[in-house]
Copies of this chain bind each other. A is one copy, B any other.
């Protein structure tokens, strides 16, 4: 049994890790930390876990994590970078769901995240945990930077087109809509049901932290910087991301076939039949990305629809997928679920 620790167990990605790992046949959760709730039973805070989790929250201190084989950071940005080094030194693998190790260019990271990076030396080592792109590197990694939720949906949608060099990569548009759980389990006015319910808005149009992450990822694939307009929106539902991606085709191609070939061996990326529309409900609670490809009126604008559950493939599920790879398990272990519909 792999012994797993979760730092930051009271946020949505933390409790989602607990949900997934509770039924993972090869993993035992041996530590869950929460500064605020230390000493309390986890299932008191999360009654959905009653019967599946006997743990108590402990303080987020390294000493409480030393008997783990792997530690997940489900923390706000800025925490993992202060603790990861010490854990790695003890031979413990680290999977960070926050943004601390995602951006290779330290100065960029510091600008977007407004902090000085505490472990710049680890950034170089960290492997960006998108298995569909980096599977072999993940297998070998000690330290994983899990992709953000928006970046997962957007990159999986653009990847085949950029790899094939079919589109104008200087004028990409990603119009992306997220459920409110993406804002985390934080007491903020803007996340109240009375504020976010029954309403729809864009936010962060001037610049969102996932923009440099997506640009970096797509740029690495393209082999040169890409131009991207990224507009995130808040949609009145709890789980789910829907990315609507626009690009100009520079040459003709069978796009449906291109995507099907690219993802034919990827269990967690499902290319829908031609003519389909992707619907977030069909991936709710599952680790799957579903993608539909359109070319309206046969013009040269390609429209890609890419949906994920932001808390699963956009966070905790993808983290467990990476863990499976790092420990030589079947990649699907513990992630075989059917979306909760309706």
Contact = CB atoms under 8 A, between A and B. Distances in A.
A286 B181 CA distance: 20
A7 interface: no
Interface stretch (A55-63, A114-122, A124-132, A172-180): A172-180
A338 B201 contact: no
A273 to B, nearest CB: 8
A122 B79 CA distance: 53
User: Which among A15, A22, A44, A277 has the greatest number of chain B C-beta atoms within 10 A?
Assistant: A277
A17 to B, nearest CB: 11
A282 to B, nearest CB: 4
A231 B293 CA distance: 13
A198 interface: yes
A46 B242 contact: no
A200 B341 contact: no
B282 A48 contact: yes
A242 B202 contact: yes
Interface string A32-45: 00000000000010
A180 B192 contact: yes
Given A193-B193, A205-B294, A341 B246 contact: no
A328 B289 CA distance: 37
Of all A-B residue pairs in the complex, the 3 with the closest CB atoms, nearest first, are: A199-B281, A48-B339, A194-B342
